[in-house]
Amino acid sequence: MNEYLSMLYLWLKSAHLIFVIFWMAGLFMMPRFFVYHQESAVGSEEDGKWIEREGKLRKIILNPAMIIVWVLGLFLAYDIGAFSQGWFHAKLLAVLLLSGYHGWMMGYVKKLARGERTMTDKKLRLVNEVPGIAAAIIVILVIVKPF
């Protein structure tokens, strides 16, 4: 039975990492979509296509991946007793902040769909760095466990 649980743990850990990759890919793609979307005229055919693309990315990849990452991640953390470890607290904070960034992007998707362009292309390119920085911090925390 113990061997079965060990195998199940590895499958769940693998699924967690796969959905982290999906989520991160979407987090990298969406701000690029925003840059290109903002170049289109409000109400144009191209604007409509960007609204559709952003909606698909949000509904098919980003939101489901984030939910699965959270569910599997919390299960795995509970299973290994990570809630009492300092590195995990820092990782949890980083993932919470990344989830907040995700939420901000979902709000900006809706603004663009309404024709509001409140950010410059330069700022959007800068916020595109957030997931990369978060990923680096999270990977170091999980692998190195510095505290």
Q: Helix 86-113 crosses helix 2-38 at what angle (to 10 degrees)?
A: 40
Structure tokens at 62: 């980003």
Residue with tokens 């949000």: 58
Q: What CA–CA distance (Å, rounded) separates 84 from 77? A: 10
Under 8 Å between Cβ of 21 and 81: no
Predicted local confidence at residue 133, as pLDDT: 97
Q: Is 91 annotated as a binding residue?
A: yes
CA distances from 88 to 22, 77, 108 (A): 22, 8, 30
Q: What CA–CA distance (Å, rounded) separates 10 from 79? A: 12
Predicted local confidence at residue 137, as pLDDT: 97
- Residue 5 confidence (pLDDT) above 80: no
Domain regions of the chain by residue span: 2-144
Predicted local confidence at residue 88, as pLDDT: 97
Closest CA to 112 of 6, 31, 5: 31
- Residue 98 confidence (pLDDT) above 80: yes
- pLDDT bin (cut points 50, 70, 90) of residue 1 is low
* 25-65 pLDDT, tens digit each: 999 999 999 999 999 999 999 999 999 999 999 999 999 99
Q: Sign of torsion, CA 6 7 12 16?
A: positive
Q: Is 49 annotated as a binding residue?
A: no
The mean pLDDT value for 67-84 works out to 96
Write down the pTM of the prediction.
0.92
**Considering the chain, what is the average pLDDT of its residues?**
95
- pLDDT bin (cut points 50, 70, 90) of residue 6 is confident
User: 5-20 in b/e burial notation, b at 16+ Cβ within 10 A?
Assistant: eeeeeeebbeebeebb
- Residue 7 confidence (pLDDT) above 90: no
